[in-house]
Amino acid sequence: MCLLDQSNRNEVCFVCNIAGREGIFVETKKFVYYQEDDMFVGWLEDYPDYRTQGETLDELKANLLDIYKDLTSGQIPFVPRVGEMNVARRASTSYEPSRRWDACSFGMVGTTTGIRTLRPK
């Protein structure tokens, strides 16, 4: 059974082959794609600056896997990434210019005037 499309296949795909090895796990990566004429164009959601294409959706996925391996190998310097952080603020129905904000992930506290101080967690 293929882990990528959950179908029964006689051949084993690349991901399923390495998933059976000790210490290897399979994680899901989201990608964005569209079809332009007879080609599928896409990129990994975490790396939107690196696009590739394929004649089929399976070929596009294989090309995206190659890009992912290259980008995460450490061989390419200065790879831009998409990150996430949690930002908490007081709930309000109106805009308050002096409203405080918290960036929970970094323990920072400040105001909309640009004053920033670190707060111990």
Q: Can you give the residue ranges of every domain in the chain?
A: 14-72, 87-118
pLDDT for residue 58:
95
Looking at residue 66, its pLDDT comes to 94
pTM: 0.54
HSE (CB half, 13 Å, CA atoms) of 30?
Answer: 5
Nearest-angstrom CA–CA distance, 29 and 48: 12
Rounded to whole angstroms, the Cα distance separating 21 from 31 reads 25
Handedness of CA 21, 22, 23, 25 (dihedral sign): positive
Picking from 15-24, 52-61, 109-118, which range would have the lowest pLDDT averaged per residue? 109-118
Mean pLDDT value of segment 98-103: 52
Q: Has residue 35 got a pLDDT over 60?
A: yes
Give the pLDDT mean for 21-41. Answer: 86
* Residues 65, 38: Cα–Cα separation, whole Å: 21
Q: Is the pLDDT of residue 108 over 70?
A: no
Q: What is the DSSP string of 13-60?
A: -HHHHHHTSTT-------EEEEEETTEEEEEETTEEEEEEEESSHHHH
Number of H helices, E strands in the chain: 2, 7
